[in-house]
Amino acid sequence: MLLALTSVATLICGCTATLAALASHASHAPQTVLSSSLPADPYPTQPLVHFNPSQRFKIIVVTDTHLLDGNGSSKPEDIARVNAMSQRAVRTYIRDEGPDYVVHLGDFVSGEFAHSELNVSRAVTQILEPIAEAGIPLSSTKGNHGNDKYSTHLSISQYEHAVAGPLSYTRQAPPGVGGGDVGTDNYWVPIHANASSPRGSRPELILWFFDSRGGKTTIANSPYGNGTQGDIEDWVHPTVGPWIEAETRKLTHAWGEPLPPSIVFTHIPAHAFAQAQTDKPYGPSHVGGITSENEGNFTVVNRTTYPGLNADVGFGGQGGEYTNYKRQDRVYLDAFLGKDGPTAKGSRLHAIVSGHEHGNDWCSPSQLRAQNGEQIVPVCFAKHSGFGGYDETWWAQGARVFTFDRDNIDKGVGTHVRFLSGEKRYATELTDKWTKLVSRS
Ligand SMILES: *[C@@H]1O[C@H](CO)[C@@H](O)[C@H](O)[C@H]1NC(C)=O
Ligand SMILES: *[C@@H]1O[C@H](CO)[C@@H](O)[C@H](O)[C@H]1NC(C)=O
Ligand SMILES: *[C@@H]1O[C@H](CO)[C@@H](O)[C@H](O)[C@H]1NC(C)=O
Ligand SMILES: *[C@@H]1O[C@H](CO)[C@@H](O)[C@H](O)[C@H]1NC(C)=O
Ligand SMILES: *[C@@H]1O[C@H](CO)[C@@H](O)[C@H](O)[C@H]1NC(C)=O
Ligand SMILES: *[C@@H]1O[C@H](CO)[C@@H](O)[C@H](O)[C@H]1NC(C)=O
């Protein structure tokens, strides 16, 4: 692992000084962890998150809001205007969908434009306010722009807890897991049947969050001590793999087998997303999958009739954004999908969901397999939800939606994208039928 770190640090920034800095940074990071006497009840002081009375559970995914980015302008009035547009967008998605839960999938802010910690805390407050005011439970993982001059993933979580209070289910990975305060968002949230489900009992669904880190150190934590920030690796830290297996043992002990089905959220897409975009048998003509708009009509990506926007082409994903991909993201993925992970005894992994590539909003089958190779794993981009960050006007803004149906929770999940314009598009059910249909086409 030391060798790998050295060579990666060399590739990322052409220097080896980051190695020691990254290692010491990781081991000395302060951590606060919620704990409980019931190992399977990680939120002893908060209400259970649960399905709604119609036996459904709807999540909307907001991502890449990039507050503090003034669309190319550093004038305070431009920044304030673009920030306000993103906040209104979040309010609109909530109004149009009425979700049971909101996930912010990262890049709350463009940390490189912050002038102070106060800039970041105000921006995080602004973007989460519509969710908190609506009283909707939420949680997040952070992106590569959240680790920057005046912020880390940990500090953004602290601002999140301040604005959302007990509505926030974001918690920090235990000490030694995730890579320190730049990689804290590794945790799971149980979704129960109803408000009176017994605490610590087997839930219906588990939301897993993994922190793909990335970005830059704060100025204060610069490894150089000369104001130049250090680079942070852009993949889920290898300590997360053994942690997933330990959690699986703990939860299996508490609930028996199989564990409930799950869905995974990570800001930077795994490399499997890049493969889904380029490699046979899927490839560029197949991304987007089969939607109600184009079922049986699945041909080529077309800006007019596209079954999912596919404008960010040739990205590398975790470990491949700035370096040659060397399977860095397979430690946690192999743990999750392997014989000691949560899907091994036949539990469904509904999808892996990522943001980061603002020009993509498709779902596709991937080369990843769950349930001992039995299940093809769908990979889904969310959709660029805010007005900060790189963009083309025709890409539009939106939020990906997942609707779980308790009666069919082991079969699949419904998903669509709600555009800011109000349009609902790409509605489909991610089931085995869907993955097989798309893989063949
Ligand atoms: C950002 O700038 C582009 C180019 O000037 C413009 O088309 C777009 O409307 C602007 N967006 C916002 C949110 O200001
Ligand atoms: C960011 O902080 C600077 C200096 O602390 C302040 O002048 C500016 O108004 C802040 N901008 C925002 C958008 O909060
Ligand atoms: C609530 O869910 C639990 C399972 O978690 C179930 O045993 C119980 O019957 C449910 N209660 C109601 C009122 O549906
Ligand atoms: C700080 O040190 C690093 C590593 O030696 C160097 O690459 C960088 O240019 C320095 N920055 C400044 C502002 O001197
Ligand atoms: C295929 O596309 C055409 C033109 O967009 C549309 O009229 C037709 O309903 C589509 N077929 C199916 C099965 O969706
Ligand atoms: C995209 O689809 C529209 C509507 O079906 C069609 O008119 C247009 O020619 C297509 N563009 C390409 C590049 O295939």
For residue 358, what pLDDT is reported? Answer: 95
Neighbours of 407 (CB within 10 A): 8
* Cβ contacts of 208 within 8 Å, gap of 6 or more: 187, 188, 262, 263, 264, 265, 336, 342
For residue 426, what pLDDT is reported? Answer: 82
Mutate to test the pocket of ligand 4, among 10, 216, 221, 226 (most ligand atoms within 8 A of CB): 226
**Listed residue (9, 61, 177, 26) closest to 416, CA to CA:** 61
For residue 293, what pLDDT is reported? Answer: 52
For residue 302, what pLDDT is reported? Answer: 40
Q: Which regions in the chain score pLDDT beneath 70?
A: 1-38, 279-307, 438-441
Residue 277 Cα to ligand 5 middle (Å): 23
Residue 82 Cα to ligand 3 middle (Å): 45
Q: In angstroms, rounded to a whole number, what is the distance separating the alpha carbons of residues 134 and 299?
A: 41
Give the tens place of pLDDT for each residue, 160-216. 999 999 999 999 999 999 999 999 999 999 999 999 999 999 999 999 999 999 999
Report the DSSP pairing between strands 138-140 and 101-104. parallel
Mutate to test the pocket of ligand 6, among 294, 302, 303, 394 (most ligand atoms within 8 A of CB): 302
**Sheet containing 349-354, strands listed edge to edge, beginning at the edge strand earlier in sequence:** 49-50, 187-192, 205-210, 262-266, 349-354, 375-381, 363-370
Q: Measured from the CB, is residue 295 less than 6 Å from ligand 5?
A: yes
CB 408 within 8 A of CB 426: no
Tokens 């197949």 belong to which residue? 286
Tokens 């918690």 belong to which residue? 171
Residue 317 structure tokens: 């994903």
CA angle 8/14/20 to nearest 5° reads 60
* Cβ contacts of 247 within 8 Å, gap of 6 or more: 188, 342
Give the tens place of pLDDT for each residue, 408-433. 999 999 999 999 989 888 888 999 98
**Sheet containing 412-419, strands listed edge to edge, beginning at the edge strand earlier in sequence:** 138-140, 101-104, 56-62, 398-405, 412-419, 424-431
SS3 of the chain: the string is: CHHHHHHHHHHHHCCCHHHHHHHHHHHHCCCCCCCCCCCCCCCCCCCCEECCCCCEEEEEEEECCCECCECCECCHHHHHHHHHHHHHHHHHHHHHHCCCEEEECCCCECHHHCCCHHHHHHHHHHHHHHHHHCCCCEEECCCCCCCECCECHHHHHHHHHHHHHHHECCCCCCCCCCCHHHCCCCEEEEEECCCCCCCCCCCCEEEEEECCCCCECCCCCCCCCCCCCCECCCCCCCCHHHHHHHHHHHHHHHHCCCCCCEEEEECCCCHHHHHHHHCCCCCCCCCCCCCCCCCCCCCCCCCCCCCCCECCCCCCCCCCCCCCCCCCCHHHHHHHHCCCCCCCCCCCEEEEEECCCCCECCEEEEEEEECCCCEEEEEEECCECCCCCCCCHHHCCEEEEEEEEHHHCCCEEEEEEEECCCCEEEEEEEEHHHHHHHHHC
User: Please, what's the b/e burial string for 124-155 (b: 16 or more CB within 10 A of its CB; e: otherwise)?
Assistant: bbbbbebbbebebbbbbbbbbbbbbbbbbbbb
For residue 18, what pLDDT is reported? Answer: 32
Q: In angstroms, rounded to a whole number, what is the distance separating the alpha carbons of residues 60 and 245?
A: 28
For residue 437, what pLDDT is reported? Answer: 74
For residue 21, what pLDDT is reported? Answer: 34
For residue 440, what pLDDT is reported? Answer: 60
* Cβ contacts of 328 within 8 Å, gap of 6 or more: 4, 8, 233, 235, 238, 318, 319
Displacement of CA 436 from its chain's centroid (Å): 25
Closest ligand 2 atom, CA of 122? 14
Closest ligand 5 atom, CA of 295? 14
Q: Measured from the CB, is residue 302 less than 6 Å from ligand 6?
A: yes
For residue 16, what pLDDT is reported? Answer: 29
CB 362 within 8 A of CB 381: yes
Q: Using CB atoms within 10 A of its CB, is residue 362 exposed (0-12), middle (13-18) or buried (19+)?
A: buried
Task: State the ligand closest to the CA atom of 195.
Answer: 3
For residue 116, what pLDDT is reported? Answer: 97
Please tell me the residue having the least CA distance from ligand 2 atom 9. 76
Rg (CA), the chain: 20
Please tell me the residue having the least CA distance from ligand 1 atom 2. 71
Task: State the ligand closest to the CA atom of 420.
Answer: 1
Domains, the chain = 8-435 (3.60.21.10)
